[in-house]
A = this chain, B = another copy of it.
């Protein structure tokens, strides 16, 4: 039996309203686990995917396969990988399901390949998983899935990931209404152009949110959680979205919005007790509307992908 490693990577909330395509953070649950074993033949063999029936074990069609192929090629290894994936995060939930599997695979493979790659290189490999899953190699989920905490993708060319300060009382509620929204569909709703005045308002909030995170000014964080770009177009895709957002804020959330391209809805809160109340108010909306959902309450987590 070859060398084995088991790595866990967290779900991630991206965009954070104003920070479309650039901001994201990690939570402590849910998470995916990827178990890798080094083999003698230069192939990727996905033995099993636990917790999810809809994903392919064909390495050409699975994000873990895409990541491992890219890493095998870049490292020049003649070895291959036997893979078991444990999905805790449902595909299409908007909380970085493909990113978590990709990040876990990248870190696990690096451990088996004598840590030859740096963390930012692992982000690049994990982005190959995102490319397979959504058609674009975006980094706003894989970056926090690997680094933990709150990250900013300042630039793609060159790739520049900035770690932001995480106020220690920051908690996150996630409600995942059980329907799937394809990232490609959600992206198709967006206008390819936007008015300069709208863009200025959006980047005013990006500046405010980053300032709020560093100065641990929770009110400023809340005021900055506005989205003039994606939410107006995508809110209609998510049943109960507006009501959940209103209820969350009325119950004391700093702000709320769509996680990634949805359908998951997130709320940021100051303190765990506040988050618990906010979660209940959002759950009530789902219960009244008879929509099946999953819910999570978690600190904004400093931990990214790690051995487990």
Contact = CB atoms under 8 A, between A and B. Distances in A.
A193 interface: yes
A21 interface: yes
Given A196-B190, A214-B214, A229-B196, A203 B162 contact: no
A134 to B, nearest CB: 15
User: How many copies altogether?
Assistant: 2
Interface stretch (A73-81, A148-156, A299-307): A148-156
A199 interface: yes
B193 A162 contact: no
Contacts of A209: 207
Contacts of A224: 154
A208 interface: yes
Contacts of A20: 200, 203
A207 B22 contact: yes
A125 B140 CA distance: 41
A107 interface: no
A209 B203 CA distance: 11
A219 to B, nearest CB: 10
A256 B220 CA distance: 29
A195 B193 contact: yes
Interface string A145-186: 000000011110000101011000000000000000000000
A223 B223 CA distance: 27
B22 A200 contact: yes
Given A194-B194, A210-B211, A220 B22 contact: no
Contacts of A199: 194, 199, 202-203, 229
A141 to B, nearest CB: 15
B152 A204 contact: yes
A190, A194, A207: residue with the most chain B Cβ atoms closer than 10 Å = A207
A194 to B, nearest CB: 6
A21 B200 contact: yes
A202 B164 CA distance: 18
5 contacts: A22-B204, A154-B220, A162-B211, A194-B199, A214-B215
Interface of A: 18-23, 152-155, 160, 162, 164-165, 190-196, 199-211, 214-215, 220, 223-224, 229
